[in-house]
Amino acid sequence: MNVTLSDTITLSVQLFALFNVAALAAVSLVWLERRFLGRLQGRPGPNRVGPLGLLQPIADAIKLMSKEDVAPGSSQRLLFYAAPILVFVPAFVVWLTFPLARDVVVRNMDMGLFFFVAISVLSIVGLVLAGWSSNSKYAILGGFRAAAQLVSYEIPIITMILIIGMLSDSLDFVKVVDAQATIPFIAVVPLAFVIFLIAGLAEVGRTPFDIYFAESEVVGGPFVEYSGAHWAIFFLAEYVNTFVIGILGALLFLGGWRWPFGADLPQVASVALLMGKAYFIVLIIFWIRGTYPRMRIDQLMAMAWKWLIPLSFVLFLAAAFQLKFEWPWWVLTILSLVILVVPVIVQSRKQRNPALELAARYAANAIVVQAKPRPAPAVEDAPVVTPAAEGTSV
């Protein structure tokens, strides 16, 4: 038991710096997401405050802080105000074990991967508490949904982290990165990266999985009664969590600061390499957000329990056998690619919806008819289109 005062002061300074890094990363993501989504949707995005709109997140923060902080009269005040902090603090605490380069880490833990799993789950409590203490129907529905969704997607994430721990024979982040000096784990277990990314998206509630605060259904879910600075804390926590998924993906699957160079780069270059990989993953997350529609809750739960969990355990067994019987590493690659093909085939068969096919045929006919009108019916087996085919109207 040997924690001295100078240790404490050093730690506090380090953690304060880390806090600023996390907050800065989150703020940069706010800007990046809005600009990137704007680009995806063919509009400029925020471009008025500062060059390229870079100061927009700061303007947002000032606006949110100067908003009146309203709480419903029927809420449980203590829990209502504690909930945002309970969501944010675990999102920040996990940062202390992330190595940004070999020695750029506050505390490198022997069981860093386990620490991440143990701490990150805690923010679910905050979300449920926010929903419950608001004493609003939308909030409590959102809280239940958050609990159901987040615990379901926790299992695949834990299993994927465990597979990485097995492959690198350690739960220490630095050793995990060292194990990927020549071959990153994304090449060894591609399926694990896919499952990790999907479950990670669900864990931070990014768009295809944002059913628990879906505006069109539960108008903000657990956050519906929050305003001003308390709402801003939830917002910040969401972006910090998104970046955590980016960093974690870079450390566990993309080789951290080592791959593709093998040897260690100088410290600054190492941090830049890791951050570049993290931002790359984050951009994939934003790209998915800009592309896919929101999933319904039944689809969401089915995806977790019928696809991700069985697949992740099959992959876990495959990794265990590969290690136990010392098969070459590419056996695992081939196995995981084969397993990856199964859901694609099954889902593409399931999606052969007769109504959709009919609609597609109508659409195809309409285009053909507009291009070159013909006197005779264009298609025999689609009689409904016949009047259109004669050139009257489309």
The residue among 136 and 241 lying less far from other proteins, judged by its C-beta, is 136
Q: What's the length of the chain?
A: 394
Q: Which stretch binds other proteins (CB under 8 A): 72-80, 272-280, 336-344, 385-393?
A: 72-80
Q: How far is the CB of 239 from other proteins (least distance, A)?
A: 14
Among 37, 49, 104, 106, contact with other proteins (rule: CB under 8 A): 106
Among 100, 160, 171, 199, contact with other proteins (rule: CB under 8 A): 171
Q: Is 147 in the site for other proteins (CB under 8 A)?
A: yes
Q: Is 58 in the site for other proteins (CB under 8 A)?
A: no
The residue among 128 and 285 lying less far from other proteins, judged by its C-beta, is 128
Q: Is 88 in the site for other proteins (CB under 8 A)?
A: yes
Amino acid at 208: P
By CB atoms closer than 10 A (0-12, 13-18, 19+), residue 147 is middle
**Nearest to residue 300, comparing CAs of 341, 40, 292?**
292
Among 28, 135, 267, 386, contact with other proteins (rule: CB under 8 A): 135
Q: Which of residues 19-38 bind other proteins (CB under 8 A)?
A: 19, 23
Among 32, 38, 49, 144, contact with other proteins (rule: CB under 8 A): 144
Q: Which stretch binds other proteins (CB under 8 A): 11-19, 46-54, 184-192, 371-379?
A: 11-19
Q: How far is the CB of 144 from other proteins (least distance, A)?
A: 5
Q: Is 317 in the site for other proteins (CB under 8 A)?
A: yes
| 220 backbone dihedrals φ, ψ, rounded to 5° | 105, -5
Distance CA 257, CA 269 (A): 8
Q: Which of residues 284-303 bind other proteins (CB under 8 A)?
A: 297-298, 301-302
The residue among 10 and 182 lying less far from other proteins, judged by its C-beta, is 10
On the CB side of 339, CA atoms within 13 Å amount to 26
Among 165, 200, 221, 255, contact with other proteins (rule: CB under 8 A): 165
Q: Is 69 in the site for other proteins (CB under 8 A)?
A: yes
Q: Is 1 in the site for other proteins (CB under 8 A)?
A: yes
Q: Is 215 in the site for other proteins (CB under 8 A)?
A: no
Cβ-based neighbour number of residue 284 at 10 Å: 14
Contact between 130 and 279 under an 8 Å Cβ cutoff? The reply is no
**Nearest to residue 247, comparing CAs of 92, 43, 352, 75?**
92
Q: Which residues contact 82 (CB under 8 A, 6 or more apart)?
A: 129
Contact between 132 and 228 under an 8 Å Cβ cutoff? The reply is no
By CB under 8 A, the count of residues binding other proteins is 87
**Which helix (H) or strand (E) is 314 found in, with range?**
helix 309-324
Q: Which stretch binds other proteins (CB under 8 A): 44-52, 271-279, 305-313, 340-348?
A: 305-313
Angle between the 190-204 and 267-291 helix axes, to the nearest 10 degrees? 70
Among 84, 99, 205, 249, contact with other proteins (rule: CB under 8 A): 84
Q: Is 110 in the site for other proteins (CB under 8 A)?
A: yes
By CB atoms closer than 10 A (0-12, 13-18, 19+), residue 209 is buried
